[in-house]
Structure 1
């Protein structure tokens, strides 16, 4: 499966959070995405949202911005 990239380095909250929410909700189970963020407030808000929604999130500092490696959890059979 292809890893998607969402570049939010020029966005600030609340727009960055809204765009990130829309993006991750389109991911398929176990699909990965990278979200690029330079605004610390947006980074905090987006990470909080992703953790509440049970996404696996790994943060990497890339100099002047951060890269969130996001993986959507598997589809649960209930």
Structure 2
């Protein structure tokens, strides 16, 4: 299975949030993706969005960015 990665390290909100919404809404139930983010404000906004949707996620802090592991759940 190919890794599903959305690299937003060069993006800032509101574009980062828009791209994350578009990408995660296309996931099928049980499908996973990894979102790479550098901007802390974008990270905060994407996290707020995911908390209101049927997603399970965790975040990992890397050297110069964050990695969010996202799984779409049943509604």
The normalised TM-score by structure 2 is 0.94
By how many angstroms is 1:2 displaced? Answer: 4.2
Note if contact 1:3-1:31 (Cα within 8 Å) is conserved in structure 2.
Answer: no
Note if contact 1:13-1:42 (Cα within 8 Å) is conserved in structure 2.
Answer: yes
Q: Is 1:43–2:47 an aligned residue pair?
A: no
- Aligned structure 1 segments of 4 or more residues deviating by more than 2 angstroms: none
Secondary structure in 1 aligned to 2:16? helix
Distance 1:37 1:56 in 2: 17
Distance 1:3 1:9 in 2: 17
Instruction: Tell me the residue number matched to 2:61.
Output: 61
Count of aligned pairs: 75
Note if contact 1:56-1:70 (Cα within 8 Å) is conserved in structure 2.
Answer: yes
Unaligned runs of 5+ in 1: none
For the pair shown, the structure with the greater C-alpha radius of gyration is: 1
Unaligned runs of 5+ in 2: none
Q: After superposition, what is the alpha-carbon deviation per residue over 1:13-64, rounded to whole angstroms, capped at 9, x for unaligned?
A: 0000000000001100010000000000000000010110021010000110
